[in-house]
Amino acid sequence: MGRFSAGRGDNWPEYNTWRTVFNMKARQLYDELRNLAGSMGITVVEHNFRATGTKARSGLCRIRGRWHYIVDKHRTVREKVELLADCLAPMDHEGHYVLPAVREILGGRGEPAGKPPAAPEVGGPG
């Protein structure tokens, strides 16, 4: 995962500092990350992976030409913040308003293994 170990409360020390400095809670951070994703043309959807009976993981995919980030709804909010931030961090955020607390989370992440997908283009030819 990212800079923190999501879901392991004791291993997420900066979260309490950030919450104090930026007065934001994990749910607010997640909502802001979802808003950023939406402004970048990515629809964030939560699904119950347990109901499918398959081993599925959260991630970015393209369905019928549109970008979707699908996350397991049973993950904790902190895990959802980590997962979505890991997805959005390598993408270009220029031209999108990003709150300082969200920018701090995105800026501290290294490049993920493998080549990240390019930021999806909104609209297209035609």
User: Tell me: the pLDDT tens digits for 20-68?
Assistant: 444 568 889 999 999 999 999 999 999 888 887 777 788 999 999 999 9
pTM: 0.68
pLDDT at 106 over 90: no
CA pair distance 44, 37, nearest whole angstrom: 7
% of the chain with per-residue pLDDT over 70: 66
- Categorize the per-residue pLDDT at 84 as very low, low, confident or very high, splitting at 50, 70 and 90: very high
**Domain locations along the chain:** 9-107
Sheet holding 66-72, edge to edge: 42-47, 66-72, 59-63
- Region 97-111: what's the mean pLDDT? 79
pLDDT at 113 over 60: no
- The 10 Å CB-count burial string (b at 16+, else e) for 35-59 is bbbeebebebeeeebeeeeeeeebe
Report residue 47: phi and psi, to 5°. -130, 155
Report residue 4: phi and psi, to 5°. -110, 165
Structure-model confidence comparison of residues 55 and 85, the more confident one: 85
How confident is the model at residue 7, as a pLDDT?
46
